[in-house]
A and B are shown apart, each in its own frame.
Chain A
Amino acid sequence: VLTQTPLSLSVTPGQPASISCKSSQSLLRSGGRTYFFWYVQKPGQPPQLLISEVSTRFPGVPDRFSGSASGTDFTLDISRVEAEDAGVYYCMQSMQLPLTFGGGTKLEIK
């Protein structure tokens, strides 16, 4: 189970934002790779990949987005929020079956 917090946040442009996803189990694999993803979904669109393997930005994703992990806690940070960052953010793990998503965090831009 991935517990994602907060449920929503409202951020002023230029300010940072942080979203947390806590796994109920360890997601580390012996080979050192952790298949943990962050997506953003904008209205009427499919999710878009932001981060894979905890911290690897997908090509084209601005470097204001970063991912990190500490144990079973995973974090997506946006260093300086922009208007285009509005949407619902989801975490996902594909290390264990069933694959699971966090419940989503709605980011609103003030």
Chain B
Amino acid sequence: EVQLAASGGALIQPGGSLRLSCAGSGFTFSHYWMHWVRQVPGKGLEWLCRIKNDGSIVDYADSAKGRFAISRDNAKNTLALQMNSLRVEDTAVYFCTSEQFWGRGTLVTVSS
């Protein structure tokens, strides 16, 4: 069974940093581009970033550029998102996805 699960969400103050993780199983993780997508509760989906299967290419949305960093460890089937300089508007549920498979999201709340 394919499983993807994001973790690491928390309540964090503006300006703070947070690292999200995503563990994959049940599929060949190293074959897939992986993405982070977020969703403000009750709103639509916003793509943030992606990383090529071998980690050699990363792309970011403008909202993530310069503050967020995506990385992966294919030996451990894990994806990460380092988020710095967090803003109130970064409050959302964060999902990891390979486009075909989506994981349970993790809630990040940025508030003082």
Contacts and interface: CB of A to CB of B under 8 A. Distances in A.
Interface of A: 37, 39, 41, 46-49, 52, 58, 90, 92, 94, 97-104
A25 to B, nearest CB: 16
Interface of B: 35, 37, 44-47, 50, 59, 61-62, 95, 97, 99-105
Contact of A97 (B37, B44, B59, B97): B59
A26 B109 CA distance: 37
A47 B100 contact: no
A90 B44 contact: yes
Contact of A47 (B50, B59, B102): B102
Nearest to A99: B47
Contacts of A37: 99
A101 B47 contact: yes
A58 B2 CA distance: 14
Contacts of A47: 45, 95, 97, 102
B99 A101 contact: no
A53 to B, nearest CB: 11
14 contacts: A37-B99, A46-B95, A46-B97, A46-B102, A49-B102, A58-B100, A90-B45, A92-B45, A97-B59, A98-B61, A99-B35, A99-B47, A99-B61, A101-B44
Nearest to B103: A46
- The 5 nearest A-B residue pairs measured at CB: A46-B102, A99-B47, A101-B45, A98-B61, A104-B44
B47 A100 contact: yes
Contacts of B95: 46-47
B105 A52 contact: no
A52 B28 CA distance: 19
Contacts of B44: 90, 101-104
A16 to B, nearest CB: 24
B7 to A, nearest CB: 14
Contacts of A92: 45, 47, 99
